[in-house]
Amino acid sequence: MPGEFELIARYFHRDLSAAPGVLLGPGDDCALLAPSDGMQLAVSVDTSVAGVHFPPDAPASAIGHRALAVNLSDLAAMGATPRWALLALTLPDVDEDWLHGFAAGFHALADRHGIALVGGDVTRGPLSITITVHGELPLVLNAASTIDRVSQPILRRDGASEDDLVVITGQPGLAHAGLKAWQSGQRDVLDPCLAAYLRPEPRIDAGMALRELASAALDVSDGVMGDLSHICRASQLSAAIELNQLPLAPELIAALGEQGAQQAVLNGGDDYELLLTLPEANLDAARAVLRASHLSLTVIGRMHTTQEEVHRVSLLKAGVEQIATGQSWQHFPANTTAEVSS
Amino acid sequence: MPGEFELIARYFHRDLSAAPGVLLGPGDDCALLAPSDGMQLAVSVDTSVAGVHFPPDAPASAIGHRALAVNLSDLAAMGATPRWALLALTLPDVDEDWLHGFAAGFHALADRHGIALVGGDVTRGPLSITITVHGELPLVLNAASTIDRVSQPILRRDGASEDDLVVITGQPGLAHAGLKAWQSGQRDVLDPCLAAYLRPEPRIDAGMALRELASAALDVSDGVMGDLSHICRASQLSAAIELNQLPLAPELIAALGEQGAQQAVLNGGDDYELLLTLPEANLDAARAVLRASHLSLTVIGRMHTTQEEVHRVSLLKAGVEQIATGQSWQHFPANTTAEVSS
């Protein structure tokens, strides 16, 4: 898009002289970065495609916010401090109003989390946004001053232990209700469900605060059942979730009813809350460190071993195993096998 | 694409235990990387959209090669050593044959340049490939052990000086002829023009070898005239190119005729040769270091100051300024202004 580069640069190039570790920002072949001494880099990439990951007619500022939020959420799930982002933007045409809104949504969230946009690429094509984020984490060296891969204080997926609690931040499910509301034509962006969907809040502070207290973590993009199964598989354990302990926001129950609310938490996603495992002894400390950010931490289950080779997530209601039947759950029949996730 | 992740992981996940600085590869929320002590990171992102940047019916292995090559070329243009890549792949559907070919083309080039695929993302949508590459460069500290942004030995665009030679690697233009050949229905992938277009060779070794000899550099994606104007603007200088000195491959003249060949070098792109400026005193040394990779370095012009504020690229033929007229060039009329690039 010759000539249009200038226009686009106007929306995305900013003064980076105060951004930590940025030796050269956009405009050359590469950005140049000076990683901090004694740190390791956490790097992640995510693509948001119009009509697949977001409604093309959503407010441009929400699209900019959301595209960055889902990437920051990956840093949160690792406990990393956000540092640098690269933005690859594929646009069907150059719409200055849209670019202005998109950039405003992107930069507002970026500024709040101290992540600098150091490079990018703009191409012509179907609307799609790919963001690469870089965060930093302490790099622990062992006695011989070499790197020991397993002893790093990182929120990996494979660190859960038997009897660890399964906990979740905040009040998940609202974004799923918001997606349904958007699809049904609601456009009141101040509605708590719609707001949760359009502008999810990456749990950066929580991830950093819980880095040394939790044993495993990920961000919930596909619902608790599916995402917890990733931790089970990586950690070679099973998990049991208690239906009655799910944190259901009153607005969520108002929007979807109680069973719909449970369904949203278990199988909906898009909130990008953190799902973690931790030793019971760390629970009070974990809740204490989240108090500063006014974020709740709810125990929803526990990790356990299984005699079989399979690692699965089971659902209990008042301690009795359930099986999903459409939009509801029933007692688990003794002689069938629940969905296996390993 | 639930369920398809496994399939895709099969093509892209590889053993990274020997990859330098990779603490954690694909499969968690982030990849974890340990940048080398005393180095800075060069980072770049590029998107290739089907039908815009490559023909959708090109061989899948060529698409995989080319998508990575254009990114590696940005590292080459900075003089950086390739380290880590992230791949965001948007696919209309899961075609195992296509994925197999794409991965083969990608990994063959990646292995040759020692860049490890540490993370990625696969989404459903119109075929599009976004790659983020990370390279490393020495980080020079000044006497006070702090970072001096301007004294880094980096191939930036703004380092050209008056009287520096303008040089180019290899024999550009072939890829432009290859694009035309592809568009006209030729499919002989062993044809030198088609091969140059489908499988451009990023000049990684040349970039690293010339890092301390050249004053400025970029990779040629849009032709010498346009890309040299970026160096002119960044370095606040003008440049004169001598038409008779352009390195024209016999295959290029055979394909396009002499004027078509000149046009391909000046305004075509896609070869990803390096365009550099350097002091005349460094020319012999620069040619000597490229001999190991059997790569030629041709002087095609010189940087100069101008009395006006504008910085432009002028075209000479036997020393007489020319102006483009369609597919040809004529003497530059004294009382008109050439295309201004600042």
Same domain? For B184 and B142 the reply is: no
Task: Kindly report the nearest CA distance between residue B314 and chain A, in angstroms.
Answer: 19
CATH of the domain at A112: 3.30.1330.10
pLDDT in tens, B121-154: 999 999 999 999 999 999 887 777 676 666 677 8
Is residue A46 a known part of a binding site? yes
Judging contacts by C-beta atoms under 8 Å, the chain A residues touching residue B215 are none
Judging contacts by C-beta atoms under 8 Å, the chain B residues touching residue A155 are 29
pLDDT in tens, B45-80: 999 999 999 999 999 999 999 999 999 999 999 999
Sheet with A297-304, strands from edge to edge, namely: A216-219, A274-278, A165-169, A297-304, A238-242, A313-317, A320-325, A328-331
Asked if pLDDT for residue B4 goes beyond 90, the answer is no
Same domain? For B241 and B100 the reply is: no
Asked if pLDDT for residue A293 goes beyond 90, the answer is no
pLDDT range class, residue A13, cuts 50, 70, 90: confident
Among B111, B101, B35, B109, smallest CA distance to B70 is for B109
Same domain? For B174 and B322 the reply is: yes
**A137 contacts B32? CB cut-off 8 A:** yes
Between the CA of residue A115 and those of A12, A23, A319, B82, B289, what are the distances in Å? 13, 15, 44, 24, 39
The 10 Å Cβ neighbour count of residue A304 is 14
- The owner of tokens 């760390």 is A282
Distance, CA of A132 to CA of A119 (rounded, Å): 10
Same domain? For B175 and B137 the reply is: no
Q: Is A289 within a domain? A: yes
**A30 contacts B88? CB cut-off 8 A:** no
Asked if pLDDT for residue B324 goes beyond 80, the answer is no
Same domain? For B109 and B197 the reply is: no
Interval A75-84 mean pLDDT: 97
Q: Which two tokens stand for residue A55?
A: 């409604």
Which among B151, B179, B204 is the end of a domain? B151
> Cβ(A210)–Cβ(A286) under 8 Å?
yes
Predicted confidence at residue A140, as pLDDT, reads 83
**B86 contacts A43? CB cut-off 8 A:** yes
Q: Is A159 within a domain? A: no
Q: Are strands A165-169 and A297-304 parallel, antiparallel or unpaired?
A: antiparallel
More confident: A182 or A338: A182
pLDDT in tens, B77-130: 999 999 999 999 999 998 999 999 999 999 999 999 999 999 999 999 999 999
Per DSSP, what are the bridge partners of residue A39?
A: A138
What ipTM score was computed for the predicted complex, to two decimals? 0.90
Q: Is A280 within a domain? A: yes
Cα A316 off chain centre by = 25
3-class DSSP state of B221: coil
Predicted confidence at residue B326, as pLDDT, reads 60
Same domain? For A91 and A122 the reply is: yes
Instruction: Compute the Cα dihedral for A341, B5, B7, B13 and give only its sign.
Output: negative
Q: Is A93 within a domain? A: yes
pLDDT in tens, A309-322: 788 999 999 999 98
Asked if pLDDT for residue A261 goes beyond 80, the answer is yes
pLDDT in tens, A104-125: 999 999 999 999 999 999 999 9
pLDDT, averaged across chain B: 90
CATH of the domain at B240: 3.90.650.10
Same domain? For B143 and B188 the reply is: no
3-class DSSP state of A233: helix
Asked if pLDDT for residue A177 goes beyond 60, the answer is yes
Domain range for A127 is: 4-142
- Test mutation, B54, B93, B122, B130, chain A, max A CBs within 10 A: B130
Q: Is A302 within a domain? A: yes
Which among A142, A157, A185 is the end of a domain? A142
> Cβ(B80)–Cβ(A38) under 8 Å?
no
pLDDT in tens, B236-262: 999 999 999 999 999 999 999 999 999
Same domain? For B169 and B92 the reply is: no
Judging contacts by C-beta atoms under 8 Å, the chain A residues touching residue B147 are 23, 34
Torsion of the alpha carbons at B263, B266, B268 and B271, rounded to the nearest 10: 120
Listed in sequence order, the DSSP H helices in chain B are: 4-12, 60-76, 96-112, 174-183, 192-198, 204-210, 224-235, 250-267, 283-291
Same domain? For A130 and A193 the reply is: no
Q: Is A336 within a domain? A: no
Distance, CA of A160 to CA of A149 (rounded, Å): 16
pLDDT in tens, B259-309: 999 999 999 878 999 999 999 999 999 999 999 889 999 999 999 998 777
Predicted confidence at residue B341, as pLDDT, reads 35
Same domain? For A108 and A212 the reply is: no
- Test mutation, B22, B29, B267, chain A, max A CBs within 10 A: B29
Q: Is A245 within a domain? A: yes
The count of domains in chain B is: 2
Same domain? For B33 and B128 the reply is: yes
Which among B90, B124, B151 is the end of a domain? B151
Interval A37-66 mean pLDDT: 95
3-class DSSP state of B122: strand
Asked if pLDDT for residue A97 goes beyond 90, the answer is yes
**Percentage helix, strand, coil for chain B under 3-state DSSP, each rounded to 5:** 35, 30, 40
- Test mutation, A5, A15, A24, A29, chain B, max B CBs within 10 A: A29
Same domain? For B187 and B272 the reply is: yes
**B128 contacts A121? CB cut-off 8 A:** no
pLDDT in tens, B152-201: 778 899 999 999 999 999 999 999 999 999 999 999 988 999 999 999 99
Judging contacts by C-beta atoms under 8 Å, the chain A residues touching residue B49 are 90, 123-126
The 10 Å Cβ neighbour count of residue A287 is 16
Q: Is A323 within a domain? A: yes
- Core vs surface per residue A195-219: b (16+ CB within 10 A) or e: bbbbbbbbbbbbbbbbbebbbbbbb
